[in-house]
Structure 1
């Protein structure tokens, strides 16, 4: 099949590159008018208690208001003084008149003490907007232009729109910085690997086709689906890495073949071998990333969709445009040569002088003695993962450095009586409509319930329908609350309607805990376990509740996602190699590489080691999306090296029937290119680790560690050791099953006997 693909690309070697370029340009152009905006958030779990509560609030009280938060700090403890408040009022007076602003709440117009914090040094203002969160984020600069700096006070603009804008800016900067570092360094490494500028350019050409095409398709999808703001960086990381990786393998094999055959034969042979390995590897990566769509949160699903898109684009151009370009170049692939290239690039490989061949032979002489301590070291590196603490990444430390983060930090530390920036919401749904009032029995039961809520650890206050408006006595208000709306003043009815609508009453629970903290999660669980008033179902919403629901759904989905990735990948490998044992071994080797990366991730980012070197503040937890993204990407990438190595080993095994020789010569032929590819991948991943978005930094470092471990200790030591121990069992499968796979045409029938024998 792949040989026929090589023949097709050779025969259409002029039309295919032109078509690839035209396709890329067309999609990029279409993404302008048909593209959509990437969205923040996406961690709500449909059907969860927090989501049901939010839906009830939206249904009965209208869509949640997007808020800008203005935070002020004074050197003196006079934030509540008339002079300071007048300066605060002046700073946002022009903004308050804009059509996007629905209302403004502060200490001056409410008189509520929750607006004064830090022992009188700080105050904040809530600006309620008539905009969605996405619209408010895109219009943030315009909104900020209507603010004036207050004399004698420091001011920060924060809240969801400002934090989202900070993320957008930081992600864009991180992407540009990574490209400026990764591309020239990769080019330099490719020149060193190939010894030819022309050969080195081809992987970057494929990346230049695949990544813009994928990002444009993602933009178009964003107009119809909720696509996370992190998708662009994740897709670029994957796209650059895969495009360079696959092209490197392809070009390497083509240069081997062109040294002793004509161009057409070389293209067909390279496509049949390297092209097949690339297709299998890409399938494995796509399977891994598609597992993200199993998670109920839209953000993870969108990253899975974006990842699959970039993998498919990379496969499309690597399997069509690349062999077509090689057909056009032929022996000119070595133009602008700076040296003769890698061993075997221009002449047949001398396997027994190759470093990795030497390593393989030494390892296979004492496989158990070498593999066992190596395995112990790898497992030891992974042990910090046992202390993993997951979160939803809403801590201050996870936010990029900037004014919005400073303001957010000040809010969370200086205004605990206001719940920082994230109250919990109690949504009480009664069996019957309340008709805008509470009868005396309901009022008494509700008061008893609220008193129990106030007694929970960490609760700073409970505000809702039982709290009177300013300047009204509580006793007077509670009596009026029992009357029908027709017997109350209109202004009071308007006030009550903010907390009672239909069958729903709502309360805000101010607390001193971060939404991502263990204490915040414990408070959510206590609130959910606390019996509610008679006749009412109590639902808990808010950041901490959303975090609890997300992590619960995450934990339920993880086993199924892992099972899907492992099962389908094993099936693909079985169909490729016709062996029962090799897929199991490949999965185990990948798990070892990934566990080492997970251990490094926890040790560095959760526990804070190397924080000064990598310039981050340790949040004490890992965002739940990071390890699952790493698993989805790295499981596929580790299959990349596995398939490329095993494909070459199998070629030699089919020819010789000697397992030991096949392993040594296969590693000798591929070890150098695998190491080179790994070095380039590490460069790409590390470049993304230099930015200020913590989640992307974690992904970059974690995947760089995984690739380094996989390409050296795992593929160079563990794989040859295990294949030496297993001997002919490596290639064994029940005869009927192997015959069935053989008829599918995915692999060649081996010459040695299929029945297992003692280790070679």
Structure 2
């Protein structure tokens, strides 16, 4: 990371600034997690999230601030005025960006899982600290260093993104179709997504816990290692007639290998083998326990069908029948998470739309940003299904494919990756909007915005990808998937979405990019946040026509 920063800034002193802020954010969040751990459960994996996000966001925000600071100096601004303009413009962008990332992470609180909630606490903490360090600590360091960081970056690098933007604007339809087709094709495997829960196979093969589980599995079988437990409430063992009836109903179900209960040991087609030692273990006067051994692995559709059949049994006792165990717990966890997923998506979308509207005063631009993010993340998850669920790169990456993906990992990745994608969108849109407010020329604003932020966005994405690649070297499959998936997400978003799809679609929309209904337009004029006093504004009472579609 340090070497990459030295390459980006062409200097050791400047490269140390974002790394110092990132380390400050990580250490500050460690302290924050230590405090909240006194009152709530915090996952040990929250430390991985804190490290990755702290380094990534700290570097991202400093890149943006330093790039703007140098630009102001190169335009002839005095040191103090350049610093003021940097905080006024790039600092505003950092705050907006942090708000979008934090809102995505806060959505994790709606899930009934302490594991996900601990990531929400950790993520929001590191975002807040990273933002504070970028707009408070970094300006203080810059004020101390003076104009000794005014060395400019290589012009060829900066002009490349302007040239690329002009190339996209000449044939936007072709770029939209091409980039969109790539994202759709890569995302197709996502429709085979199979949600599940983790077992010992997420650990390295030489981990003692996995070795023990493998030994038990080889000696016995999946069913013995993961029995399905059925509890009949208010079912006394003295009622042998109903006990026998319930046992028979269970044994009639497909894929049931044996049943052990207070009446003894039973297998399909044979009478139970009684044993007095079973009585005390499987009944306590208020209910009975039936331990069901399945002939199929717990993470298979057949095992899930068996759990559903057990829950559908008409209990002869006429009381409630409870079913638990590895398969049932996995099914209930997945159902609970998926039930709350629509609410989380709505929260993320609404907060994102509000933040981007306040920044741009547009209706179309925020909607486009949300749709492109969803398309980009679909491609990311499609790649993860192909790699981790299907196991196509299992040997190369060193993990064991189980045929499913832990339900918590994509939920966590979605909230983080959506926030990071909006992070880059805010970087880009803030500069395009600034140029449009000054000139009123949509094409010029797009070219200038991408030309000035392209290097920052791509450098930030590459540096963040380095951090997540380091995380993906973990021997724990969950952490490996988390790091690898976020690495794919930030690179796809920066190079395919922000550098190609965003300018192409904005070109096709023309002045309609900046339109809003009259009430919302008046609201934004009064309460929106501006970097410059706008010179050119679209008329609020009419919808601007999109520009004529250029040649494909």
TM-score tier, shorter chain, comes to over 0.9
Aligned match for 1:264, one of 80, 83, 89: 80
Give the corresponding residue for 2:124.
308
Aligned match for 1:234, one of 49, 52, 74: 49
Give the corresponding residue for 1:414.
219
What is the correspondence of 1:203-602 to structure 2 with a 5 Å cutoff? 203-259=18-74, 260-333=76-149, 340-343=151-154, 354-394=159-199, 396-401=200-205, 402-416=207-221, 419-430=223-234, 434=236, 438-439=237-238, 442-467=239-264, 496-602=279-385
SS in 1 for 2:281: coil
The 10-residue stretch of structure 1 (581-590 or 254-263) with the greater mean CA deviation from structure 2: 254-263
Larger Rg: 1
CA shift in 2, pair 1:557/1:661, >3 Å:
same
SS in 2 for 1:565: helix
Aligned match for 1:614, one of 388, 397, 416: 397
1:196 aligns with 2:11: yes
Q: CA deviation at 1:509?
A: 1.5
Q: CA deviation at 1:502?
A: 4.4
Q: CA deviation at 1:758?
A: 4.0
Contact 1:235 1:306 in 2 (8 A): yes
Gaps of 5+ in 1: 1-185, 335-339, 345-349, 479-491
Structure-1 separation of matches of 2:377 and 2:115? 23
Structure-2 separation of matches of 1:273 and 1:430? 68
Contact 2:263 2:274 in 1 (8 A): no
SS in 1 for 2:149: helix
Structure-2 separation of matches of 1:476 and 1:236? 57
Deviation digits for residues 223-269 of structure 1 (CA, Å, limit 9, x no counterpart): 22122222111222222111111111111111212332222212211
1:750 aligns with 2:538: no
Q: CA deviation at 1:703?
A: 1.1
Contact 1:597 1:705 in 2 (8 A): yes
SS in 1 for 2:512: helix
Q: CA deviation at 1:420?
A: 3.4
Deviation digits for residues 122-145 of structure 1 (CA, Å, limit 9, x no counterpart): xxxxxxxxxxxxxxxxxxxxxxxx
Structure-1 separation of matches of 2:319 and 2:182? 56
Structure-2 separation of matches of 1:393 and 1:341? 49
What is the correspondence of 1:134-213 to structure 2 with a 5 Å cutoff? 186-213=1-28
CA shift in 2, pair 1:641/1:474, >3 Å:
closer
What is the correspondence of 1:7-26 to structure 2 with a 5 Å cutoff? none
Give the corresponding residue for 2:268.
none
Structure-1 separation of matches of 2:223 and 2:391? 27
Q: CA deviation at 1:518?
A: 2.1
Contact 2:361 2:528 in 1 (8 A): no
Deviation digits for residues 529-554 of structure 1 (CA, Å, limit 9, x no counterpart): 12222232110011111111111112
Q: CA deviation at 1:636?
A: 0.8
Structure-2 separation of matches of 1:283 and 1:514? 44
TM-score, normalised to structure 1, is 0.68
TM-score, normalised to structure 2, is 0.92
Give the corresponding residue for 2:511.
728
Contact 1:277 1:640 in 2 (8 A): no
Contact 1:287 1:565 in 2 (8 A): yes
Deviation digits for residues 26-85 of structure 1 (CA, Å, limit 9, x no counterpart): xxxxxxxxxxxxxxxxxxxxxxxxxxxxxxxxxxxxxxxxxxxxxxxxxxxxxxxxxxxx
Structure-1 separation of matches of 2:376 and 2:387? 17
Q: CA deviation at 1:446?
A: 0.8
Give the corresponding residue for 1:668.
451
Deviation digits for residues 669-728 of structure 1 (CA, Å, limit 9, x no counterpart): 111111111110111111111111111111111111111111111111111111111111
Structure-2 separation of matches of 1:475 and 1:733? 76
SS in 1 for 2:224: coil
Contact 2:108 2:415 in 1 (8 A): yes
Structure-2 separation of matches of 1:216 and 1:613? 37
CA shift in 2, pair 1:499/1:358, >3 Å:
same
SS in 2 for 1:331: coil
Contact 2:394 2:400 in 1 (8 A): yes
Paired residues in the alignment total 536
What is the correspondence of 1:635-674 to structure 2 with a 5 Å cutoff? 635-674=418-457
Structure-1 separation of matches of 2:529 and 2:227? 58
Contact 1:465 1:499 in 2 (8 A): yes
- Over aligned residue pairs, what C-alpha RMSD do you find? 2.1
Deviation digits for residues 565-602 of structure 1 (CA, Å, limit 9, x no counterpart): 01110111001111111100111121122111111111
Give the corresponding residue for 1:83.
none
Q: CA deviation at 1:612?
A: 1.9
Q: CA deviation at 1:369?
A: 2.0
Structure-1 separation of matches of 2:247 and 2:30? 50
